[in-house]
Structure 1
Amino acid sequence: MIKTEKTLVEVLEVLRGRGYVEDFNLLEVRDSYIKNGEKVDMSDIVIDKIYRFSGQNDVDDEAILYAMRNTKDGAKGVFVNGYGIYSDDDADAIIDQITIHEDDSDDWTL
């Protein structure tokens, strides 16, 4: 997990430039994520990077951002959740199903 002083919006822009354009928070909205009429198998999703954001003046601003991709079709996207006591239980349940293949040695926001 990378802790960064950059804002969530700044990191989202960097990730968009790297092709992470899908909204994987839709996984949380539905029981399954449908793309092009097909149900996405959660075992095909992997997390490439995790970024933690801490609120400088307000703990309500704490968040965690997951950069993830679908290994089956190559789609890349992001998933955002609160952090700590502010995390969403449904979002946590989704993330718990996803394999992490993160390499912290390469911070994409530098």
Structure 2
Amino acid sequence: MITTEKTLSEVMEILRQRGYTEDFNLLEVSASYTPDKHCININDLVIDKIYRFTGQNDLDDEAILYAMHNKSDGAKGVFVNGYGTYTDTEADEIISKIAVHENDSDDWTIDCSGNC
């Protein structure tokens, strides 16, 4: 897990530049995510990076961001949840079912300006 000084929106933009464009928070609505009407098996998802954001002055600003990909079709996206007191238990349950293969040796908080 990476704790960063960047804001959630800054890291989401960097991830978007790296191809993480899907909104996997839709998994909270359904056990399967359906881009283009194709169901995704939650077992095909893999968490690549986890970022924790701490609210320096406001606990409401605490969040955790998961960058993940789908092994079956290569789709990449993000999943955001509250952290600590403000965590969403349904989101936690979904995340607990997804494999984590995180490598912290590569710093993904560096803006690659589309050249990633």
* Structure 1 and Structure 2 fold alike (TM over 0.5): yes
Question: What residue in structure 1 maps to residue 25 of structure 2?
Answer: 25
Residue deviations 1:54-93 (CA, integer Å, cap 9, x gap): 0010111000000000010000000000001210000001
Amino acid at match of 2:2: I
Question: What residue in structure 2 maps to residue 6 of structure 1?
Answer: 6
The percent of aligned pairs where both chains have the same amino acid is 68
Report which of the two has the higher share of strand.
Answer: 1
Matches within 5 A, 1:64-75: 64-75=64-75
Q: Does 1:99 align with 2:90?
A: no
Which consecutive unaligned segments of at least 5 residues does structure 1 have? none
Amino acid at match of 1:58: D
Q: Does 1:85 align with 2:85?
A: yes
Shift of 1:37: 2.0
Q: What is the RMSD computed on CA atoms of the aligned residues?
A: 0.8
Give the TM-score, by structure 1 length: 0.97
Question: What residue in structure 2 maps to residue 62 of structure 1?
Answer: 62
Equivalent residues, number: 110
Query: Retained in 1: the 8 A contact 2:48–2:66?
Result: yes
Distance in 2, matches of 1:27 and 1:87, equals 16
Question: What residue in structure 1 maps to residue 34 of structure 2?
Answer: 34
